Structure 1
């Protein structure tokens, strides 16, 4: 009898356990899906969209998103749940999220974070062509410059909505205005690396404690080249689309020899191979990648005035035209609503500026219809990466900026040169192991070579020898074959 009662007891406990399991499971899914059952003031169901974006969550995020969601409920019956991932962690954490099969709706992605090309090719992001070809989708398509769509195209398909901003790469020399004024330096006429030399000499001889040309570990000088994968690509004006190793070009050798000479003359900081950007270091000039009004941003960041001149004409490349996009997850349960939201985000000024600047009267105040003054600048509680949030051309200008700012950005884009390889996307699957090995070689040599601190002939020979040993010729041949086919199909 004891045995039988024991069995009955175990069966009873098991039954209770199973029942509890189902109750807990039901509770979990109910709690996870609460927002799907939320009804707005108009009596319609509210769809919650989960959006992963880059940056740190602002202090006043909850206050702002409450207002955003009120507006979205009225417009399209949507609420947003924005999840922020910091810049340095974004690619890795999004990779984990995607590989886990998580059900999210939207994600920031680009050429330098979130791996737009790789994640699109492996099916993580939704192909948008069918949606863009609808009557409502055409509104979004027409809003964004065609060249952004060309850059976003992968094997003829679109997998992300570009955030409209500057289109091209604009390498610039950034000069400290104090020394420009003091020595009447004609900075606007200085473009090439060699153009700088007379003025580097002036600073070296007259300003002890000032670095004439400030270089840090991340410095590169690839202004003549469109890197399709580092360091392989084409010369930026090469209509023949001849694939090359950048470090085997005459242009690269000349630039490296100039940097070496400047280092030996004491024009470059001694720690250039390892230096992290130190804003306290006094310098005449450094290199930056800019756009219209970049000087204002740099001056604010450095806390002193700078002026800039272009090194070469702005170039639109695959990398620059995919500098910021928002993709819809293939696993999203709300694909149509996500696309509807992206259309609104890129066309509706009220929504775009609310996400960009926060709440009128709390985070900013309007000084005219399209211009604002930010409040509490010293302790701003709502700061967010503007470029990650959709069409920038419909955002307000700041009171320190001209009303013509976005028109000038359009002109900047229109006047840019276009890489002959724009739209070509390299499929690296056949040479992935070679590219990984090549990247290790570059990590070993690039910073040292660009620093000017080593003999160019010796180190450039070592670099190219190791690149060949790791299969760079195989990468070049594979890319040449693919780009030849792309060119033939394009024509």
Structure 2
């Protein structure tokens, strides 16, 4: 699976103990005297994505600029995709002092951590130091960021909707005359996977990694508890008990047994490691161009379904300030620059001009060979709409993103924020069960006829029915107030 937007298999974050919360809040509320301190403040920023060879080189340039702008420096701590969720659980649970961290609906879980007190409520800081950011970001993102009326992280201004795609190696699609526009469902892939298997022995027909999960017409409020996207009944279900899930997992197991899926799918981390025909990605307009650049070969994609705006997608990329931060004001000043300062945003995004890229005009750039040493996940870093476009992208790219956002449909549960407090223990158990069974089931490695009953029995034993009942009660009350 492409790593530019990890799907929601990592959706649940840490459950933070109440004793930590009290300790963290105590630290976060003791505001530093940074505004009058002449020595630059060092901010620690945890980001998601593979550590890059040139990060320190770019960081030096970032810090030269930040010292002049806000008398601060930044220390970037990059944590690889598959390790980020676990790492941030340790950081938060230990009470480690840090300033800023990437958070979202699928890693370092925003809702859970905010409700448990790990993040600073940003409303006052935004009003004082982030007015430009508030104005720059689409109001729908701010609405999605609200938890019980407060904002605990700054969303990245990007695509609003979830847009699942089949992503094909362009060379093989052309070689075998594949009309990708006719491929929508998982089952539609079968004849082409068979062709690749028979004719390209060194190519993996369908390559996935351990974070892959099934794309179903459901909005997962807390994985695997969800509501349907196909109607407005807002009935809460366990997706592992749906017919759609059963069919999908049976197809995946069939493909795995046929040799279409890589044998290490349940454990693989690297989505660039092998030759492949197709994988799954979550994208947006012109994602193919960025993916092709980062993968080193051309890809083309086709949508699996129309894009939907969900609570998960509006909180799919955010930056939070830790309650353990001694510098919340400086952190907000940095985040304000990150989302409004074009020079800084592009430096963090693309690296150093003349080393990692060169300008072809005021708004577009050409990637240089050394950017292989600084490949950042653009979507995770802040406001995309002030970044340069690539030379082979249209100048109207960001306007088309805005149209994409306007045309995306809304989940019937958009705006609903589940309060897990009454079922915290059971919710924590859901994550453990998914960690145990999810990757092997989703990848097709195991027979769903044997393992679906096992995962459902385990989910019931830890109290999923109690979670469903509590969520249904809350969503019914929310619906009644709409």
TM over 0.5: yes
**Displacement after TM superposition at 1:370 (Å):** 0.9
Alpha-carbon distance, 1:340 to partner: 3.5
Within 5 Å, which residues of 2 pair with 1:404-415? Answer: 404-415=396-407
Structure 2 residue 25 is matched with structure 1 residue 51:
no
Deviates more, 1:344-353 or 1:58-67: 58-67
Distance 1:180 1:232, change over 3 A: same
Q: Which residue of 2 aligns with 1:353?
A: 346
Q: Cα distance, 1:190 vs. partner?
A: 0.9
Partner residue, 1:386: 378
Which piece of structure 1 moves more, 60-69 or 362-371? 60-69
> What's 1:24 paired with?
none
Q: 1:435 to 1:372 in 2, by over 3 A?
A: same
- The aligned residue for residue 239 of structure 1 is 232
Q: How does 1:311-330 map to 2 (within 5 A)?
A: 311-330=304-323
1:78 equivalent among 59, 71, 75: 71
Superposed counterparts of 1:81-480, under 5 Å: 81-87=74-80, 88-99=82-93, 104-132=98-126, 137-263=130-256, 267-269=260-262, 272-273=265-266, 279=272, 281-377=274-370, 380=373, 382-452=374-444, 454-480=446-472
Report how many residues are paired. 449
- 8 Å CA contact 1:107–1:329 kept in 2: the answer is yes
The alpha carbon displacement at 1:47 in A equals 5.5
Any stretches of 5+ residues in structure 1 without a counterpart?
Answer: 1-32, 40-45
Corresponding residue SS for 1:150:
helix
Q: TM-score when scaled to structure 2?
A: 0.81
Is contact 1:347-1:394 (8 Å) kept? yes
More relative contact order, 1 or 2 (CA 8 Å, 6+ apart)? 2
Contact in 2 for aligned 1:140/1:346 (Cα 8 Å): yes
Mapped to 1, the partners of 2:99 and 2:336 lie a distance apart of 14
Judged with a 3 Å threshold, the aligned counterparts in structure 2 of structure 1 residues 131 and 218 are, in CA distance, closer, same or farther, namely closer
Aligned to 1:15: none
Assess, with a 3 A threshold, how the Cα gap between structure 1 residues 378 and 109 changes in structure 2: closer, same or farther: closer
Q: Looking at CA atoms only, which structure, 1 or 2, has the larger radius of gyration?
A: 1
Q: Distance in 1 between matches of 2:340 and 2:235?
A: 40
Retained in 1: the 8 A contact 2:43–2:327?
no
In the alignment, is the contact (CA less than 8 A) between 1:50 and 1:82 conserved in 2? yes
Shift of 1:394: 0.2
- In structure 2, what is the Cα distance between the partners aligned to 1:408 and 1:281? 32
| More off after superposition, 418-427 vs 242-251 | 418-427
Tell me if structure 2 keeps the 8 A contact 1:424–1:486.
Answer: yes
Task: State which drifts further: 94-103 or 109-118.
Answer: 94-103
Q: Give per-residue Cα distances to partners, 1:164-198, cap 9 Å, x unaligned.
A: 12333222112222222122111112111222233
* Cα deviation, residue 263, structure 1: 4.5
Which residue does the alignment assign to 1:26? none
Q: Could you tell me how far apart the structure 2 residues matched to 1:263 and 1:375 are?
A: 39
Residue 69 of structure 1 and its aligned partner are, at CA, apart by 4.4
8 A Cα contact 1:47 1:337, kept in partner:
no
For 1:486, the equivalent position in structure 2 comes to 478
Q: What CA RMSD, in Å, does the superposition of the two structures yield over aligned residues?
A: 3.2
Shift in alpha-carbon separation, 1:74–1:218, aligned structure 2, 3 A: closer
